[in-house]
């Protein structure tokens, strides 16, 4: 009702001002068509895929009032499969296909046209398409195959090679290959890789879900052909989890590939993996995610994936027994090589080590160019930092060897890149080359999930800009198919707590909707029958889990996805998992609604030192557990209402309110003081709305008092994401900016002063004297503390979403100048188009530039403004705008439609 009333009033307002001569008329068009967040996706298994589009117009105040979608079997003048007809709706994001059920491997084309609030209809959009994958297990005709003669031993094993020749006598209309593996694969056709995708099929809950990929190889088919694949250990069989455990999911790697040929005469042919394929080992002697790759170029087999190769010494592949019922099409963002970095310096350390400095802590590998004799060995080792003496440092990698070895074949310049491993590093040590290394000998290849960049933040302080850089690089390095905690040591696991606290910041920086959709399916798949959520997803810790704030990712990450992308389906799909987690907490808490009986991580790595010059704090874990129990129960109540489950909405909302009462009774004094008198405790109580109204200002004052007394933050993984936004929400912006601007340890900018290029795991990973924290846990690429990025976007720059109208259908724009900043700018590419919120101080004037995309509206709050002195686009506020003004102690607020606006006024 609130949304409908708001839109009605705003539409009337927009109609009044849409004829303003300040805006030139222009044609509206429909563009940026996406299906399930992807452009022309191939091989999906979503039966009712969702379609989204954008409106492009130079006119202001443009809203969609109706749409029509048509789906055909060909791109031009095809047979119509379905039409929505004219639907009176402003919805242009995640509109579900509602036509006849589609078949496996079927491609369809779609177009859309829209009507706007000026009663004009657009032309049909350019066609887009989507193509279904294999929807039924029985459609898989291929068999799993493996190398039957592989020797059994503990440790990384040689990668397996597979191949098959085939001829093609007819003219091919289309060719698709559907492929997956137990382990990681690279697929070749006629000597060329079929895709630039990396680390396929991806990391999932392999016992429940194995992804397959679909590739269009029509242009690669010849008369005589050869298809080949390499399969390495990967997450499936390689070292993973605690203690470098090998073969967690299985002891045998395997390949499954099905090539589907459709000829112009209407006939089809299927070529699938079976025992007619050949198998062998090759030059990849070992390739392990933790330990690196050893590659012997002397064992290369030139032309092994081309027709006519002599495979007489290869053995017949062995058919493996593995289910095809667990095969699913991918929904996430595939890993790719995204960019390349050249080293900035070549160092000889005091110990005599030859080390390249890449200038950036990155994730990926090195492309090596080398010349030498046959049998010469070049070894590459990887590190994040150097010691204070300037020597190569790998102690914090623990048992991970992080070493690539290349054995030369001795044939001129040779180029090597590993295949099934990655490293987290800034520094590269090289050993064994016969010539003095040069800077052009190596190139850093940066890999991560291929997420579309969506957000940017910049301000007048270079150190804060470096912080933003570090946040984004920390996300890139750790969003490698799953949201890992770190990319370098013998861990690299999908820790749920890290992902939870960082989820909103992540969604500002990149389009993470597909990434989270895929990962949340694995959360549900690995969740235990009693509702307990494992600490890491995919679960390789054998069910260890149930820690509050960590397991709450099962609710908070889908909720974030809903807020940012308006994605209701993720709430519907994940609802059983969410409900199971709340019911688990309910069972563990007991009748008093206090969760005090279990082990939790608490405010992990909080600043809790006892040094007199740096006082710290420890927050009671029972308080944190009960706070999250109340908060997540309340979220579940909201979610139940959104998806139409009124009974559960009432049940879990009431549960949340009752937990809040129990929380106050147990942990809060009548004066508003918490039993854990810490920044984290007060931030949780205030941010999660756990306190009665009369205690809120008192608790906020206690929080502010503690920040003033300490002079720095004392929070860990749980409290840090909430601290600044809680201070700001309760009128203590000055303290929030003080914490942001602090450069001494502990602070966000302290690592920047130490030369950090990513976010650290600990506030003092590297101490002021150059020494390091505990080697047992000291990552220099760990994104959790980067959650401050959310506050930079939403508060400092003032770019925010409205939970009542999610997905940026209605935008909240409210900048907050503060600290010593003279300007700040944020931009975000929403599903509707680009949003901008940028402010600057020019003398006594406050200048605020905003962009609101078509088919959205915005409420703009101008801080310390007098309406009579405000200019918009160099003109005084129109009377129609003034009629909608709201005044508050924060300034004035007004509602606007789409367009670009520049506000200028002297601040009070």
Which of these is catalytic: 59, 131, 384, 761? 761
In this structure, how many other beta carbons lie within 10 angstroms of the beta carbon of residue 624? 24
For the residues of 782-808, what is the DSSP string, one character each?
A: -GGGGGHHHHIIIIII-EEEBTTBTTT
- Assess contact for 860 and 850: CB atoms under 8 A: yes
**CA torsion, ordered 387, 393, 396, 399, to nearest 10 deg:** -160
Per-residue tokens: 92: 């242009």
Per-residue tokens: 55: 């409106």
Indicate the burial class of 132 (C-beta count within 10 angstroms; 0-12, 13-18, 19 or more). buried
CA distances from 533 to 334, 522, 538, 548, 684 (A): 25, 11, 11, 10, 21
- Token pair 């039924």 is found at 136
- Token pair 């002697």 is found at 285
- Does the annotation count 761 as an active-site position? yes
Q: Nearest-5° angle of CA 686, CA 688, CA 690?
A: 70
Enumerate the H helices of 590-695 as residue ranges.
Answer: 621-642, 646-667, 679-687
Looking at residue 222, the DSSP 8-state letter turns out to be: -
CA-based diameter of the chain, in Å? 87
Per-residue tokens: 54: 């954008």
Beta strand 403-407 pairing with 327-328: unpaired
Strand order in the sheet with 50-56: 29-35, 50-56, 95-96
**CA torsion, ordered 189, 195, 199, 205, to nearest 10 deg:** -90
Indicate the burial class of 888 (C-beta count within 10 angstroms; 0-12, 13-18, 19 or more). exposed
Phi and psi at 296, nearest 5°, equal -105, 100
Per-residue tokens: 858: 């915005």
For the residues of 134-184, what is the DSSP string, one character each?
A: --SGGG-----EE-TTPPP-SS--PPEEEEEEEE--S-EEEEEEEEEEESE
The helix/strand/coil state of 477 is helix
The helix/strand/coil state of 833 is strand
Alpha-carbon distance 727 to 712, whole Å? 13
- Assess contact for 783 and 751: CB atoms under 8 A: no
Phi and psi at 314, nearest 5°, equal -80, 155
Beta strand 414-416 pairing with 354-370: antiparallel
- Does the annotation count 59 as an active-site position? no
Which of these is catalytic: 491, 620, 790, 827? 491
Looking at residue 397, the DSSP 8-state letter turns out to be: G
Active site residues: 491, 761
């Amino acid at each position: 009702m609130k949304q409908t009333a708001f839109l009605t009033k705003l539409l009337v307002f927009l109609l009044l001002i849409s004829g303003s001569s300040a805006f030139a008329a222009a044609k509206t068009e429909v563009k940026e068509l996406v299906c399930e967040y992807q452009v022309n996706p191939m091989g999906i298994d979503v039966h009712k895929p969702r379609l989204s589009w954008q409106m492009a117009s130079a006119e202001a105040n443009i809203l969609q009032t109706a749409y029509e979608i048509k789906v055909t079997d060909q791109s031009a003048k095809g047979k119509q499969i379905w039409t929505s007809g004219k639907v009176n709706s402003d919805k242009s994001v995640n509109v579900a296909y509602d036509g006849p059920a589609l078949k496996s491997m079927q491609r369809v084309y779609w177009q859309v046209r829209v009507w706007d609030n000026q009663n004009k209809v657009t032309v049909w959009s350019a066609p887009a398409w989507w193509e279904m994958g294999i929807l039924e297990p029985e459609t898989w005709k291929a068999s799993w195959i493996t190398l039957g003669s592989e020797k059994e031993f503990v440790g990384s094993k040689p990668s397996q090679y597979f191949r098959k020749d085939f001829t093609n006598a007819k003219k091919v209309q289309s060719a698709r290959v559907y492929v997956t593996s137990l382990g990681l694969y690279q697929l070749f056709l006629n000597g060329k890789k079929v895709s630039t995708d990396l680390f396929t099929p991806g990391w999932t809950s392999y016992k429940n879900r194995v992804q397959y990929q679909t590739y269009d190889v029509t242009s690669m088919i010849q008369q005589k052909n050869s298809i080949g694949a390499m399969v390495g250990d990967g997450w499936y069989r390689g070292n993973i989890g605690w203690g470098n455990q090998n073969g967690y999911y299985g002891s045998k790697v395997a390949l499954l590939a099905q090539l589907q040929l459709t000829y112009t005469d209407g006939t089809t042919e299927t070529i699938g993996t079976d025992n007619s394929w050949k198998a062998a080992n090759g030059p990849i002697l070992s390739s392990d995610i933790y330990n690196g790759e050893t590659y012997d170029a002397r064992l290369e087999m030139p032309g092994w994936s081309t027709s006519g190769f002599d495979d007489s010494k290869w053995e017949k592949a062995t058919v493996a027994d593995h289910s095809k019922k667990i095969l699913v099409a991918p929904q996430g963002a595939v890993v790719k090589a995204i960019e390349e970095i050249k080293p900035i310096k070549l160092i000889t350390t005091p110990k005599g080590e030859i080390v390249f400095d890449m200038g950036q802590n990155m994730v990926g590998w090195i492309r090596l160019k080398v010349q030498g004799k046959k049998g010469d060995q070049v070894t590459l080792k990887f590190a994040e930092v150097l010691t204070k003496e300037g020597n190569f440092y790998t102690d914090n990698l623990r048992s991970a060897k992080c070493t690539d070895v290349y054995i030369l074949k001795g044939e001129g310049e040779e180029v090597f890149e590993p295949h099934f491993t990655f490293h987290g590093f800034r520094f590269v040590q090289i050993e064994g080359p016969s010539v003095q290394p040069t800077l052009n000998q190596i190139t850093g290849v940066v890999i991560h999930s291929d997420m579309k960049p969506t957000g940017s933040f910049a301000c007048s302080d270079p150190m804060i800009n470096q912080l933003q850089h570090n946040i984004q690089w920390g996300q890139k390095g750790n969003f490698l198919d799953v949201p890992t905690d770190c990319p370098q040591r013998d861990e690299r696991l999908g820790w749920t707590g890290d992902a939870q606290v960082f989820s909103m910041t992540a969604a500002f920086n990149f389009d993470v909707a597909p990434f989270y959709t895929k990962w949340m399916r694995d959360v549900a798949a690995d969740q235990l029958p009693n509702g307990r959520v494992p600490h890491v997803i995919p679960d390789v810790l054998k069910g260890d889990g149930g820690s509050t704030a960590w397991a709450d990712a099962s609710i908070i990450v889908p909720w974030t996805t809903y807020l940012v992308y308006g994605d209701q389906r993720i709430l519907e799909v994940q609802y059983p998992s969410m409900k199971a987690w709340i019911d688990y907490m309910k069972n563990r808490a007991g009748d008093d609604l206090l969760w005090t009986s279990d082990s939790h991580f608490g405010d992990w790595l909080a600043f809790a030192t006892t040094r007199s010059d740096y006082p710290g704090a420890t927050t009671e874990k029972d308080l944190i557990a009960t706070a999250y129990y109340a908060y997540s129960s309340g979220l579940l109540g909201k979610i139940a209402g959104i998806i139409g489950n009124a009974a559960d909405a009432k049940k879990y909302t009431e549960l949340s309110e009752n937990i809040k009462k129990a929380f106050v009774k147990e942990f809060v004094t009548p004066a508003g003081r918490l039993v854990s008198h810490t920044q984290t405790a007060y931030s949780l109580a205030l941010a999660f709305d756990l306190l009665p109204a009369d205690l809120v200002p008192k608790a906020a004052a206690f929080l502010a008092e503690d920040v003033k007394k300490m002079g720095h933050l004392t929070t860990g993984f749980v409290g840090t994401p909430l601290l600044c936004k809680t201070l700001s929400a309760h009128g203590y912006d000055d303290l929030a900016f003080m914490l942001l601007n602090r450069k001494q340890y502990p602070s966000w900018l302290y690592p920047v002063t130490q030369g950090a290029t990513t976010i650290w795991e600990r506030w003092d990973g590297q101490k002021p004297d150059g020494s390091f924290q505990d080697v047992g846990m000291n990552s220099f690429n760990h994104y959790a503390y980067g959650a401050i990025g959310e506050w930079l976007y939403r508060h400092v720059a003032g770019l925010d979403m409205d939970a009542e109208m999610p997905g940026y259908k209605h935008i909240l724009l409210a900048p907050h100048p503060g600290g010593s900043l003279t300007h700040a700018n944020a931009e975000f590419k929403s599903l509707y188009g680009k949003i901008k919120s940028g402010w600057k101080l020019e003398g006594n004037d406050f200048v605020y530039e905003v962009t609101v995309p078509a088919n959205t509206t915005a409420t703009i709050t101008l801080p310390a403004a007098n309406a009579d002195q405000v200019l918009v686009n160099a003109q005084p506020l129109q009377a129609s705008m003034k009629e909608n003004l709201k005044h508050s102690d924060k300034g004035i607020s007004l509602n606007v439609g789409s367009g670009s606006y520049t506000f200028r006024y002297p601040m009070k």
